[in-house]
């Protein structure tokens, strides 16, 4: 590094001294020489500062400034590297960036190309986590009303953890001791780059399993990992993991770190377990305890049934002694029943006889329907004959009146007038001519006589 710096500075400044002819550079040449010098001198640096002016371009590149009390350094993180930072950059966050210095010759400024970033100290990390916790809590992701109850005895348990660590062995061993269940393990990385995405995808993947599919859908989920530093547990503080846990339709137990470790997924989970082993204990009851409880309940139920049968037997015996022989108590009742039955039969027969007599008496007073029909027919024939006479008389009167009206109309008819020697004169349009001055010389007229019409021409 020192040799490159010496060589570059020598090439740039080993020029004729003042007073001699100075070399001439173009703007592009001097900018490229400065860019080369900066990049070779500061090929790899670590810079600590506070983020301000954070902007994410549509291309995915991130632009921001690192500042302290004395200066400000323009910084950029290219899209391909932004996803590998493992840290979501925010304004006001104090971080330590690792990268290289370069210049942007189009604007004659220099900037830091960020390749890695980490929070500057535990205090800054805790502040960031607290701010994130408050923001997610304000959204209602940690609301106790959203928590689901764990099933008492799940058929299938889904575990999201590393497949090679001691955590999965501890969980399986504890489940075998308490109550063996069908366990599905979704292997994920529990720290480092891409771990948060894998954990969130595993939770969402378990929830996406159909209930009647070939792979059984878990009844409860356990998200677990062993202890570690705050940086090791950071994937379980990522927003994508917290949101996936809060959105899980399957009851979820978080078992991250030791009892004193707290991550944001603990707030979003339905139940928090202090250790992965404790999570297994929360997931299933102890089979031996259940068997003992069932056995004890069966014995107590058997004793209760025996006591109840004995109590009812004694009570029945007491009632039997108090009531006496049921057959003797039934004999008077049977005799009363026979007496009532005989009286009822006799009463019914008497009632039936009275009804028959009343029907016979009524039958004598009622006329036979045939006689009623015959009388009605006679009345109908009488009315028919009378109506015929009235109609004939009415017809004759109408006919005579009509003939009289016809005779009057015949005298008033134009034909009758024409028959007495008169004629009807009409013009060519068929209009009646009533005046001698109406037709003109040469007009065609039509004369209607009694027995027909004749055409004529007017001549003065």
pLDDT, tens digit, 9 for 90 and up, residues 101-118: 988 877 778 899 999 888
- Whether the predicted pLDDT of 74 surpasses 80: yes
Gap between the Cα atoms of 279 and 271, Å rounded: 9
pLDDT for 12 equals: 47
Gap between the Cα atoms of 59 and 82, Å rounded: 11
- Whether the predicted pLDDT of 161 surpasses 90: yes
Per DSSP bridges, beta strands 182-187 and 94-104 are unpaired
CB-CB neighbours of 250 under 10 Å: 19
Task: Average the pLDDT over each of 84-93, 120-129, 403-412 and give the range with the smallest value.
Answer: 120-129
The verdict on domain 145-285 having CATH code 3.50.4.10 is no
Q: Which segment, 146-150, 164-168, 368-372, is predicted with the most confidence on average? A: 146-150
Gap between the Cα atoms of 55 and 93, Å rounded: 14
pLDDT for 429 equals: 80
- Whether the predicted pLDDT of 9 surpasses 90: no
Q: Which residues pair with 20 in a beta bridge?
A: 18
- Whether the predicted pLDDT of 378 surpasses 80: yes
pLDDT for 388 equals: 86
Mean pLDDT across the stretch 7-17?
Answer: 47
Gap between the Cα atoms of 215 and 196, Å rounded: 24
Q: What kind and span of H or E run contains 50?
A: strand 45-56
Buried b or exposed e, range 372-408, using 16+ CB within 10 angstroms: eeeeeeeeeeeeeeeeeeeeeeeeeeeeeeeeeeeee
Sheet holding 444-449, edge to edge: 424-427, 444-449, 452-457
> What's the whole-model pTM score?
0.49
Token pair listed for 308: 């109840």
Gap between the Cα atoms of 133 and 164, Å rounded: 31
- Whether the predicted pLDDT of 197 surpasses 60: yes
pLDDT for 17 equals: 54
Just give the CATH number of 2-128.
2.40.50.140
Per-domain residue ranges of the chain: 2-128, 145-285, 417-457
Gap between the Cα atoms of 203 and 251, Å rounded: 11
What's phi and psi for 385, nearest 5 deg? Answer: -65, -40
Percentage of the chain exceeding pLDDT 90: 34
Gap between the Cα atoms of 81 and 98, Å rounded: 12
Gap between the Cα atoms of 167 and 178, Å rounded: 17
- Whether the predicted pLDDT of 180 surpasses 50: yes
Gap between the Cα atoms of 460 and 455, Å rounded: 17
Q: Which residues pair with 230 in a beta bridge?
A: none
- pLDDT tens figures, 221-261: 999 998 887 778 889 999 999 999 999 999 999 999 888 88
Gap between the Cα atoms of 277 and 290, Å rounded: 20
Token pair listed for 338: 């026979």
pLDDT for 5 equals: 42
Mean pLDDT across the stretch 17-37?
Answer: 77
């Amino acid at each position: 590094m020192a040799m490159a710096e010496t060589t570059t500075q020598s090439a740039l400044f080993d020029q004729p001294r003042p007073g001699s002819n100075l070399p001439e550079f173009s703007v592009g040449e001097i900018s490229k020489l400065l860019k080369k010098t900066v990049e070779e001198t500061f090929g790899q640096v670590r810079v600590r500062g506070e983020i301000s002016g954070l902007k994410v371009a549509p291309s995915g590149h991130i632009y921001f400034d690192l500042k302290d009390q004395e200066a400000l350094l323009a910084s950029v993180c290219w899209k391909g590297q932004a996803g590998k930072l493992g840290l979501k950059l925010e304004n006001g966050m104090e971080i330590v960036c690792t990268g290289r210095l370069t210049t942007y010759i189009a604007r004659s400024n220099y900037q830091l190309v960020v390749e890695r970033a980490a929070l500057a100290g535990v205090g800054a990390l805790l502040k960031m986590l607290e701010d994130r916790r408050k923001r997610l809590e304000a959204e209602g992701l940690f609301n106790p009303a959203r928590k689901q109850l764990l099933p008492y005895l799940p058929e299938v348990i889904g575990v999201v953890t590393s497949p090679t660590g001691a955590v999965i062995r501890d969980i399986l061993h504890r489940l075998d001791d308490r109550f063996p269940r069908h366990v599905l393990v979704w292997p994920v990385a529990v720290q480092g780059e891409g771990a948060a995405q894998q954990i969130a995808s595993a939770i969402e993947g378990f929830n996406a399993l159909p209930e009647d599919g070939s792979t059984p859908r878990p009844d409860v989920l356990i998200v677990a990992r062993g202890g570690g530093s705050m940086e090791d547990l950071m994937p379980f503080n990522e927003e994508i993991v917290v949101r996936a846990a809060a959105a899980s339709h399957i009851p979820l137990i978080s078992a991250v770190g030791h009892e004193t470790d707290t991550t944001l997924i603990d707030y979003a989970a339905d139940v928090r377990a202090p250790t992965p082993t404790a999570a297994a204990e929360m997931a299933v009851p102890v089979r031996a305890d259940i068997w003992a409880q069932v056995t004890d309940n069966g014995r107590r139920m058997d004793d209760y049934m025996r006591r109840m049968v004995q109590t009812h037997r004694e009570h029945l015996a007491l009632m039997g002694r108090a009531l006496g022989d049921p057959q003797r108590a039934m004999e008077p009742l049977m005799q009363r029943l026979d007496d009532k039955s005989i009286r009822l039969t006799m009463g019914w027969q008497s009632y039936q006889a009275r009804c028959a007599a009343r029907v016979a008496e009524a039958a004598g007073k009622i006329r036979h329907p045939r006689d009623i029909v015959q009388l009605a027919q006679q009345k109908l024939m009488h009315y028919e004959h009378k109506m015929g006479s009235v109609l004939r008389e009415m017809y004759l009167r109408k006919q005579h009146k009509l003939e009289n009206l016809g005779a009057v109309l015949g005298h008033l008819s134009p034909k009758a007038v024409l028959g007495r020697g008169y004629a009807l004169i009409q013009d060519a349009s068929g209009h009646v001519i009533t005046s001698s001055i109406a037709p003109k010389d040469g007009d065609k007229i039509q004369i209607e006589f009694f027995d027909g019409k004749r055409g004529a021409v007017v001549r003065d």
